[in-house]
Amino acid sequence: MRIPKTLLSCVSLLLTFGVQPAWAFDCAKAQSLIEKAICADPLLKAADDAMSAAYSSLREALNAAERKGLTASQRKWIKNREDSCGVQEGAELTSCIRQQTGERRRLFLAAPESGPGTGARMVPIFVQQDPDPHRFDVDYTLIRFAAPKSRGETLFNADVDKIIKDAPLKRQEEAAPEGMNYASYSAMDVTYASPKFLSAKIEAWENTGGAHGNGGTSAINIDLVRGTALKVEDLLDDNALLRLKNDCIAQIAVQKKEKNDGQDFDPANDPNYQEQTVVDVLKSLEAWNFWQDKAIVTFNSYAIGSYAEGPYECEFPMAKLKSLAKSGANLPE
């Protein structure tokens, strides 16, 4: 992984004088296209400074090992922003920088995509290993409670800690045959958070050196009041699931047609599709992610389609879910 020269110089000076890098840069020394674009636009500069401030605040909340992961992740992210936004021009360049910088700041703050927040501080955790960028790349970005106090917060952290523990930091030699690349990525977003309910989406992808990598989406849904992992039966009865199943099948049929060049979907002639799979996935809350206004159920690749088709999703408005839910069901407000 190549780090921009200006970044390396900045880090070197900061370490020399015992100051920790905040990733802000001096516009008088801006060299890259992205740096120059940021310095030429007061709004972009303000966004970049806000991200840098969030980085510094987060760094103070982490231990030494976690800080090391944060530093490695930020270096990689800056390189990726340079590469992805650097191919844009004009308004598209500005939009790319603004979007990526804003998303990075939100990650540092562990801000949920929707909902009022839990009331307790959450922080991102970065697990990085890149001993040989030509062969190995392990990159996990997860979110946990900084100081869990309740049973629900402790349970959520335990789920996150298990993902961290299972990160393949010491098994690459076994997993990647000689001459092949190995990569393992995992990224978390808190899609909804309130003092009562927390929903987090985890997107994972792994390449062990085969023809292509494989990945998928899963979810953690915690009842923070009861301190338990939510289950579908906590929210919906069988009649409600039947109505959602019929709605979901109709959505899948539309997506099947779109992915197959407009051809009508014929379940009987689709060897990858089983209606029972739709039922089984709907009954597993590990496939559900919640936002304030909706829920999305994800069918990962191979579940009801070929690898080339990719994942399928069924989206349900929150108003509909609440109309079908059990009395007192813990759903986003």
**Helix pair angle (90-109, 33-40), 10° resolution:** 90
Both tokens of 162, joined, read 């298990």
> What DSSP element (H or E) covers 247?
helix 238-259
How far is 53 from 67, CA to CA, in rounded Å? Answer: 15
Of residues 275 and 135, more confidently modeled:
275
Both tokens of 290, joined, read 């919640």
pLDDT of residue 6: 37
Q: Residue 281: is its pLDDT beyond 60?
A: yes
Strand pairing report for 136-145 and 122-129: antiparallel
Strand locations in the chain, DSSP E? 122-129, 136-145, 182-193, 197-207, 214-223, 228-229, 288-290, 294-299, 312-317
Mean pLDDT of all residues in 188-199: 98
Judge contact between 175 and 201, C-beta under 8 A. no
226, 227, 231, 232: CA torsion to nearest 10:
50
- At 1, the pLDDT band (50, 70, 90 cuts) reads very low
List, for residues 14-72, the tens digit of each pLDDT value.
333 333 344 567 888 888 899 999 999 999 999 999 999 999 999 999 999 999 999 99
Both tokens of 103, joined, read 């998303």
Strand partners, 202: 188, 218
Both tokens of 190, joined, read 């808190």
Of residues 189 and 14, more confidently modeled:
189
Q: Which of 113-122, 166-175, 179-188 has the highest mean pLDDT?
A: 113-122
How far is 81 from 117, CA to CA, in rounded Å? Answer: 28
How far is 92 from 191, CA to CA, in rounded Å? Answer: 27
Q: Residue 149: is its pLDDT beyond 70?
A: yes
pLDDT of residue 178: 59
Amino acid at 177: P
How far is 116 from 260, CA to CA, in rounded Å? Answer: 40
pLDDT of residue 7: 36
pLDDT of residue 176: 55
Q: Residue 111: is its pLDDT beyond 70?
A: yes
Amino acid at 122: M
Both tokens of 8, joined, read 């390396």
Judge contact between 74 and 55, C-beta under 8 A. yes
How far is 157 from 125, CA to CA, in rounded Å? Answer: 11
Amino acid at 76: K
pLDDT of residue 136: 74
Least confident of 144-153, 258-267, 312-321: 258-267
Q: Residue 267: is its pLDDT beyond 70?
A: yes
